[in-house]
Structure 1
């Protein structure tokens, strides 16, 4: 099939030659299976995707379809304990503070707000200078310095007039509200920007290096260009230099990505990333140094061994994934268009390796999920991002208990 579709975050714009061509292409993807070059194994061995040649089974799938599956998804549970706060405008990044409180960014307003996780009280720290919101761009990912206890530095990823960049700012809670952010120090600049596909997630890894998910800004060839920082996972020092041991001696850690918006590590310090597909498959990938994840030549699984296959894949209406977190032996993945929270267990048995969907349609679009420790997650909704249908109280931060 000649690809003539363009999908952005939660929106599908399609021009297809014929329905039969789509079905044929889908069938081809299903039968492609797993690449011999995909060596990811969940805890305990085996392949999480060995039994799943199609999209992840939704908890709301027809009974006949569920009965046809050889292995039902493992039983887990998600309970919404409470609404932590509400009335947020285009929330995107979330960073729990070690002293208590949650920092949340507003994509369109360009501000960072501290939320008291006990009372829900909101205190605006201030606006980040230079943010130029538009489309999917604006103030996005947040991360705390690995030396936050001594330096109180907050890192932020945002879209400026010319590029996407990363800055760090001193957070001084003793100053008046609205004046608690110091002047931004630019750590890294020059990430391509576009109306859409700006990536935006940042996180410090177990190695204390800064990992960055970027998008290819609709210029698909950037994803395979190792000299470009678009369509990549980057790995930087806290000062913004290429991290020691990077595979190409540059900031690039992995490539061939369309739009990475989720980063998380499991208990074995393996890095996982969520990725928006175009009109067929969204992905959860295990990220390895130097790995090529196929875009734009491959969407979803492939039988070409030069590309790494996803751990799992979903039809685009089931996921459109943004943030991910690791808790209780599973990756938890927030779905925008899918309006659900996916659990992807990593313990290695076929039964538990099957993903499971929760909260389907209960809270609308879901943007960010962060581990809160003790079997709890913070979950951020995204109904005010221009693609949702805001209801009373939107947007919100929810506290979940998961198993």
Structure 2
């Protein structure tokens, strides 16, 4: 019997458009028979564990995007202040890099997701998803730590623009995939029809080159759209077999964790949660909206981990191929308030940010903070 607070569902369709699995500029990291063979993969136990190792940093203002630096430290985006801050993960010391110009922070918009260039070691480029006065867009800036604090960001270059904006449902998560291409989660801004309109950039997952062009091999010719029928995508992560998973806010009934296939329709606004309708992909896990509001996701120890905002907890979804192998398991329920972002920190560690200063939480002393977790 499935728990009332977290229902598991199997994928609604087993086939889909897809290319070779090897990461390259002209191929999608989609599923193949070899990749999805359960016998070829170790299935994690149904029940896992979470240990809060320490609080890494405190006193953060509306943290949203989080990007681990290869040289050590974390970059954190402040949604409302429009600033990027480097956190020393050893001492918790915070150094402001600078303010990103042109950020229009209102409602759920502002300075949102962060991602490092796949060539960061040589180009020092930081990508950011930003709500401007007219739209949501992706910028990139050079980060120069040799410059004085507060002046370490170069002038931003607009990589991609024209994503619809609103007071709600701005999406905002960006991540470079194993194919070195940029994936962008967007929202439908409350205009439900945008999710099914393949010509609109709202309610989609987009796939771009680092320069902002539609990626070669995308499912729709000359289009950045990779998947559609989404309400508000705020989490993107790949497993060890380069398969993409995304979290999605529901309306009133079901939040979702989806296994993403190129060109697939995830059903919104016709379907919320599992519908069994062959036209749509059903989620691999779903939650009542009071229990999740899933934002960031990460992959570690054979499971997808997703941070819950309204649910104020961290969810673990163990995987078997691109399906869940057991009921979702909740941790940290109500202990730290709203959880926004979760990022793999290597091995059995995760970084998790709280989101209690975003206008919908109940800030306590020290909020907002970054936690280091040990998971299994």
| TM-score, normalisation: structure 2 | 0.89
Structure 1 residue 37 and structure 2 residue 2: aligned?
no
Contact 1:38 1:305 in 2 (8 A): no
Where does residue 242 of structure 2 map in the other structure?
Answer: 269
Q: Give, in whole Å, the separation in 2 of the partners of 1:118 and 1:367.
A: 22
Q: CA deviation at 1:303?
A: 2.0
| Partner SS state of residue 162, structure 2 | strand
| Partner SS state of residue 64, structure 2 | strand
Counterpart selection for 2:106 from 116, 134, 141: 134
Where does residue 367 of structure 2 map in the other structure?
Answer: 394
Change (3 A) 1:173 1:36: closer
Alignment RMSD (CA, Å): 2.1
Where does residue 331 of structure 1 map in the other structure?
Answer: 304
Where does residue 345 of structure 2 map in the other structure?
Answer: 372
| TM-score, normalisation: structure 1 | 0.83
Contact 1:35 1:304 in 2 (8 A): no
Where does residue 154 of structure 1 map in the other structure?
Answer: 126
Structure 1 residue 119 and structure 2 residue 91: aligned?
yes
Query: Cα deviation per residue 1:294-334 (whole Å; 9 max; x = unaligned)?
Result: 00000001121010110111000110000000000000000
Q: How many residue pairs get matched?
A: 348
Where does residue 181 of structure 1 map in the other structure?
Answer: 153
Change (3 A) 1:345 1:160: same
Contact 1:42 1:346 in 2 (8 A): no
Q: CA deviation at 1:353?
A: 2.4
Equivalent positions of 1:43-54 (< 5 A) are: 44=38
Where does residue 316 of structure 2 map in the other structure?
Answer: 343
Structure 1 residue 239 and structure 2 residue 226: aligned?
no
Q: Give, in whole Å, the separation in 1 of the partners of 2:170 and 2:340.
A: 15
Contact 2:304 2:317 in 1 (8 A): yes
| Partner SS state of residue 38, structure 2 | coil
| Partner SS state of residue 317, structure 1 | helix
Query: Cα deviation per residue 1:252-283 (whole Å; 9 max; x = unaligned)?
Result: 00000000000000011000000000000000
Contact 1:34 1:302 in 2 (8 A): no
Q: Give, in whole Å, the separation in 2 of the partners of 1:341 and 1:94.
A: 17
Change (3 A) 1:300 1:151: same
| Partner SS state of residue 154, structure 1 | strand
| Partner SS state of residue 291, structure 2 | coil
Contact 1:258 1:275 in 2 (8 A): yes
Change (3 A) 1:221 1:352: closer
Q: CA deviation at 1:352?
A: 4.6
Gaps of 5+ in 1: 1-26, 46-72
Where does residue 195 of structure 1 map in the other structure?
Answer: 167
Q: Give, in whole Å, the separation in 2 of the partners of 1:351 and 1:235.
A: 25
Q: Give, in whole Å, the separation in 2 of the partners of 1:323 and 1:363.
A: 16
Contact 2:349 2:374 in 1 (8 A): yes
Query: Cα deviation per residue 1:110-149 (whole Å; 9 max; x = unaligned)?
Result: 0000000000000000000000000000000000000000
Gaps of 5+ in 2: 16-30, 40-44
Change (3 A) 1:176 1:43: farther
Q: Give, in whole Å, the separation in 2 of the partners of 1:43 and 1:84.
A: 39
| Partner SS state of residue 117, structure 1 | coil
Q: Give, in whole Å, the separation in 2 of the partners of 1:262 and 1:349.
A: 16
Q: Give, in whole Å, the separation in 1 of the partners of 2:14 and 2:322.
A: 18
Where does residue 48 of structure 2 map in the other structure?
Answer: 76
Structure 1 residue 98 and structure 2 residue 73: aligned?
no
Change (3 A) 1:322 1:350: closer
Contact 2:12 2:280 in 1 (8 A): no
Where does residue 276 of structure 2 map in the other structure?
Answer: 303
Larger Rg: 1
Change (3 A) 1:178 1:349: closer
Q: CA deviation at 1:347?
A: 3.2
Q: CA deviation at 1:354?
A: 2.0
| Partner SS state of residue 221, structure 1 | helix
